[in-house]
Structure formats: structure tokens, C-alpha cells
Amino acid sequence: SSGINAEYGEREEANEQPRISTMPRGSAVTTKDKGKGKAKELPPIKTHEFLMNKTFGQHLLKNPAIIDSIVEKAELKATDIVLEIGPGTGNLTFRLLPHVKKVIAVEVDPRMAAELQKRVQSSPHASKLHIILGDFLKADLPYFDVCVANVPYQISSPLTFKLLSHRPLFRTAVLMFQREFAMRLVAQPADSLYCRLSVNTQILSKVKHVMKVGKNNFKPPPKVESSVVKISPLNPPPPINFVEWDGLIRLCFQRKNKTLGAIFKQSNVIELLEKNYKTYCSVNNIAVEPDLDFKSKLLSILETNNFSESRSSKLSINEFLRLLTAFKENKIHFI
């Protein structure tokens, strides 16, 4: 659904408009075991050293045990099309290819894409790989069943919500994030990290922390620890207007430890919602009360529904849904 987007503290790097194009596929190459007639996969070509591009947040995952765990947690099927974001030189790609129908790898760095193409072309699975050269955030995504990614940390939020807005819905995504970002995704009410990101992700999907990954498992090591999470979109998605939902959640989490009564008493909040209210009434030919005291109207809704003393930091998703419904029943909207 359109409108699923979020800015949660990360800022995208100001890159030039990338070229979105499909690189040619490599051809499958096999050798035969003497006397057995069985196809044997050629060893991957050794990659030369790259100077990592900080703009792209490049940290190559090098620990084969962790790579195997990621593949295992993805629960792949032979018929799956897998979307891999930022494959780098292909350490994870090589583990994925034998298990699935196709891997679509989106890579922004032409050097990495060329190295991956070179490395895979001598593999019997080469025909399964399809490389898209370009910026994931600006690319039109094809159909896929599963997504796996060692996510460039500076695009964690927009990447997550681009995936969750994709239609048709994918089955699951296994994603590597900065540890704190991952813990925000899975945080529950009353957790110190519970925030707008937590609520907006969990209204759309089931999120599970899979494992911690230390910084020494990467080359070069990042400055922070990492975690792998598994995100499975709710299907069907909840019957809400996400833009309106996010309008409420954004407002509530500006001061998540304040009571909702205190938040909705603020003059800027009253002014915004009164304007929305009058616009809605005008568009729908509804007469606005001549003696309207909008502040009292807001606080009365909170009081009637037992939200006046509630704090966003402790409210569940179902409670936020009930709050949104209460406002909408009184013709108060957040878009």
C-alpha cells in the first residue's frame, strides 16, 4: 500500500541518481568427476581486495557459520525467488543459489556487481543469478518470495518500509541490522527502546530477533554490533490507512513518556487537529458546531475512552488502534 514510509533518525547519503539496469547473466559451467559423471561445482573465484565505500556502508560478512545460519532461518524452498540486497562479492549469494529457483541481487556498487558476476559465472548455478545494478531505494522491485540482506545501516528504516509496502506480499525477510535498530524493531510496550519504529513495523508484520552478530564477523569490522531479525508481513495486512495511522503514532511518540492528556493539550496539536477536523467537515458537507471548544472535545474523547493518563511508551498496538478509532468516530483525522 502506498504511503508506507518512515524517517526514524537515519539519513540517506546524497548520492547521484543511479543507473538501474540489468547486468548480463553468467552461463553455467560444470566439470565432471572422473568416472562418476556427476556435476561438480567449481570453487568460487578468489576476489581481489576492494577499498570499501563508506557512502554505501560496505561491511562484508565473512563468517561462513553465520551465513549458513541466515540461509537456514530463511526456510527456503526450491521454487523460491530470493531478493538479496547488497550482495557485495557474493559470500551469501553462493550459499543461496543451490537452494532456490532464482536470486535477484540488487547492488549499487558497479565494482561489487562485476566481481559477483565474475565469481558466479564458473558455477553450475550461474543461470539462477540476476543482478540489478542500482540503488535499492529507487529501484522498481520484481516479484520475490523471500528477502535476505546484510543491510547498509544508514538506510535501515526506508529499506524496511519499502519492503513492507511491496505488493504482492513476500513470505519472509531475514535481515542484518545494527543491534540497536534491530532491538527497536522487536521492542514491546514498556521496553526502553519501544518507539514509533516498533509500533509501525509490528502493525504490518511479525518481527523476531534471530541472533546477535559481533563486529569481528565483518570485513572491515563496523563500529557497532549487529543482529539478524526475521520479518514476516501480516497477510492480509491490517485494514488501516497507514498514513493516518502514522500521523497518530508520530504525534504520540514525540514525547512517549508524557500522558496523552498532556500531549493533546499542546496548542500546536490542537491547532493541527482542529484544522483537519474543519477540513473533513467541509469536504463532507458537515456543519461545524458554532460554539466549538476543540480542546475540550479532544480531552473529552481521551477521558471517555480512558486514555487521559495513558503513556505511549506503555500502549500496545491494539490500544493505539482503539485510540485511532475513537478519534475517527468523532471525525478527527491525522492526515
* C-alpha cell belonging to residue 155: 538506510
Alpha-carbon distance of 29 to 41, in angstroms, equals: 8
Q: Is the pLDDT of residue 12 over 80?
A: no
Q: How confident is the model at residue 50 (pLDDT cuts 50, 70, 90)?
A: low
- The residues, any chain, with a CB within 8 Å of residue 165's CB and separated by 6 or more, are 1, 2, 3, 4, 5
Instruction: Report long-range pairs for 16-21 (Cβ below 8 Å, ≥24 apart).
Output: 17/138, 18/108, 18/133, 18/134, 18/135, 18/138, 19/133, 19/134, 20/132, 20/133, 20/134, 20/135, 20/138, 20/139, 20/140, 21/132, 21/133, 21/134
Q: Determine how many CB atoms are found less than 10 A away from the CB of residue 91.
A: 21
Q: Point out the least confidently predicted range of 37-41, 172-176, 290-294.
A: 37-41
Question: Which pLDDT does position 8 carry in this prediction?
Answer: 56
Beta pairing class for 102-107 and 81-85: parallel
Q: How confident is the model at residue 219 (pLDDT cuts 50, 70, 90)?
A: confident
The per-residue pLDDT for range 229-279, each reduced to its tens digit, is 999 999 999 999 999 999 999 999 999 999 999 999 999 999 999 999 999
Question: What's the pLDDT at 117?
Answer: 94
Mean pLDDT of 296-300: 97
pLDDT at position 42, please?
Answer: 37
* pLDDT of the residue at 222: 77
For residues 330 and 12, which has the higher predicted lDDT (pLDDT)? Answer: 330
What is the structure's pLDDT at 115? 92
What average pLDDT does range 177-183 have in this prediction? 96
pLDDT for 51 equals: 52
Beta-bridged to residue 83, according to DSSP, are 104, 147
What percent of the chain is helix, strand and coil (3-state, nearest 5)? 40, 15, 45
Res. 39 pLDDT band, cuts 50 70 90:
very low
Render pLDDT for 97-116 as a digit per residue (tens, 0 to 9).
999 999 999 999 999 999 99
pLDDT attached to residue 223: 85
Residue range 298-306: mean pLDDT, rounded: 97
Query: What nine digits make up the cell of 237?
Result: 495486512
C-alpha cell at 284: 463532507
pLDDT at 218: 81
pLDDT on residue 89: 87
Lowest mean pLDDT among 17-21, 54-58, 88-92, 294-298: 17-21
| pLDDT confidence band for 217 (50 / 70 / 90) | confident
Q: What pLDDT was estimated at residue 55?
A: 52
Q: Which pLDDT band, with edges at 50, 70 and 90, does 326 fall under? A: very high
Per-residue model confidence (pLDDT) at position 154: 86
CA 149 to chain centre: 10
Q: 62-98 pLDDT, tens per residue?
A: 789 999 999 999 999 999 999 999 998 899 999 999 9
Q: Which three cell numbers stand for residue 186?
A: 522487536
Question: So what's the pLDDT on residue 41?
Answer: 41
Cβ distance 214 to 232 under 8 Å? Answer: no
Mean pLDDT of the chain: 86
